[in-house]
Amino acid sequence: MKRLTLPLLALALIIISATAGKSHDMALQRNLKTFNAMVKVLEQNYVDSIRIDDAFKAASRAMLNTVDPYTSYYSPDDRDELLKMTTGEYAGIGSYILQMGDYVCISAPMEGSPSEKAGLMAGDKIARVDSVDAKGLKSGEVSKLLKGNPGTEVRIEVIRPYVEDSLKTFIVTREKVGEKSVPWFGMISPEVGYIKLTSFIYNTPMEMTAALDSLSRIPGFSKLIIDLRGNGGGLVESAVEVLGNFLPKGTEVLRTKGKGSERVYKTTHKPTHPDIPLAVLVDGGTASASEITAGALQDLDRAVLIGTRSFGKGLVQTSFPLPHDALLKVTVAKYYIPSGRLIQALDYSNRNPDGSVARIPDSLTNVYHTARGREVRDGGGLQPDSVVEIKNYSDILYNLVTKNKIFDYATRYRASHPGSPEIPGMQIDDDTYADFSAYVSQSDMKYDSSFDELLKEVRKQASEQGYATEESDSVLDHLQTLLGSDLERDLRFKRKEISEYLLEEIASRYYGDTGRILVGLQSDPVVEKAVEVLTGPAYEATLKGSGK
């Protein structure tokens, strides 16, 4: 009887699997036919003409929304954007842009780009591109006007705030420009080097190698910080190449598993820095390929992770060509780092009844072990070995940033302070902060704090439930006075954090991303912690592990 049971079970499973597959295929064919018939009926009978391209985009978006946010359709017009994401290269003037009211502004010219060579500056309002009036256009529309074939010229008229003869004209020759994935590296203490890594694109391994070579020639360099905060990832292959600088050749750093496929990624070259003490900085913006890098180094006990929990993206995408030069970027696999764990935080295959996706709770995650036996967990991103909690932005700072008050004041400051100040000596002194506060007050900036919103809800509920009285209104009014938004008070109370952000923006007006990074490093608690760990006993103590 037992000898018969197993074969029968196996046969039953095969039949069920085949039936399920056939049922799925039949449902697919049925729905495709229905959709095709629906389009024809609408086209032939709807009272007005149908904008077929818009209808198709809407239908495509609705279908892709049922899978995950990383599976995306790219029309022929959007292909360049996907190419830029993976290569960091495009043909244009080489400048970041920002929407500010009726105008699109130059946010920051890239270092060495055509826009920087031509003399465009952060804060310039783009008034005209060739013969097109740019006032009222959105940033995407202006971006398309600025891009073009390398070697072609574009005439750009800008309004430069806070200077005389503010209308200026620039003739810029477009070039093939590329974003840097290593915007700055250098020594931040006699022993500790620092590399800021912002993305993983085709040229990332070369930039990383060049940075390491330069640091290695500096006397005293013996420890390294790699800053992956805010790094949203990119190419898996680039992450593997970067890992090869620190791990033995042939080390498995990643395994991907898709439908009927599995791929193993190993380092392919001799490491340049196999033994250097290493700290990797992570936060909620550290995702995808940057999590592969940080996670592999953690699992192999090759680095200490410092900061806050990473984003938690354990999915891999590949692009497939579609008819008429369109593309479909599809999630094709999940990735597993050396301990065997999957760090994906959201399970898109199991949605809530309302279609939302909940984060996997820590209580449902599983324990894995690093090479030396330290406990690590799957699901929910990477948990740092040393957590440094960062305070959330205050409501006043959030509004100053999103309403572009800090950006605009930095433009004004640069116009009235020519020259190149020394970054170590740059600070927001009393006079500068008083001038900034006066500028914000005169702009009549209005904002509601989170407490304002809470009080509004309390008043609403009290009224609906019949509890609103003269006495309760008096109490809520008093709370509003004490804790509600007050521009002048909040500017005084939050001076320290506002000044830090303001100083970074002002420094960027003189030295671009380099200035922003250098000023930020002067008061960065995560970097301070990393230096402390690398130069003290905590580094080895963390990596020793406690056994399984």
Choice among 124, 299, 385, 395 that is catalytic: 299
What sign has the CA pseudo-torsion 233, 234, 239, 240? Answer: positive
Choice among 180, 196, 223, 313 that is catalytic: 313
Judge whether 257 counts as a catalytic residue. no
Judge whether 124 counts as a catalytic residue. no
- Strand ranges of the sheet holding 223-227, from the earlier edge strand across to the other edge: 184-187, 192-196, 223-227, 278-282, 304-307, 386-387
Q: How far apart are CA 269 and CA 205, in angstroms?
A: 12
Judge whether 133 counts as a catalytic residue. no
Structure tokens at 410: 């930095």
Q: How far apart are CA 129 and CA 144, in angstroms?
A: 10
Maximum separation of any 2 CA atoms in the chain, in Å: 97
- The region that residue 29 occupies, defined by phi over 0 for left and psi between -120 and 50 for alpha, beta otherwise, is alpha
Which secondary structure element, helix H or strand E, spans residue 288, and what is its range?
Answer: none
Distances (CA, A) of 46 to 40, 42, 51, 314: 10, 5, 11, 44
70, 317 Cβ separation under 8 angstroms: yes
Choice among 181, 288, 339, 449 that is catalytic: 288
CA angle 112-116-119, nearest 5°?
Answer: 150
Structure tokens at 383: 């948990």
Backbone phi and psi for residue 366, each to the nearest 5 degrees, phi listed first: -110, 150
The residues carrying an active-site annotation are 288, 299, 313
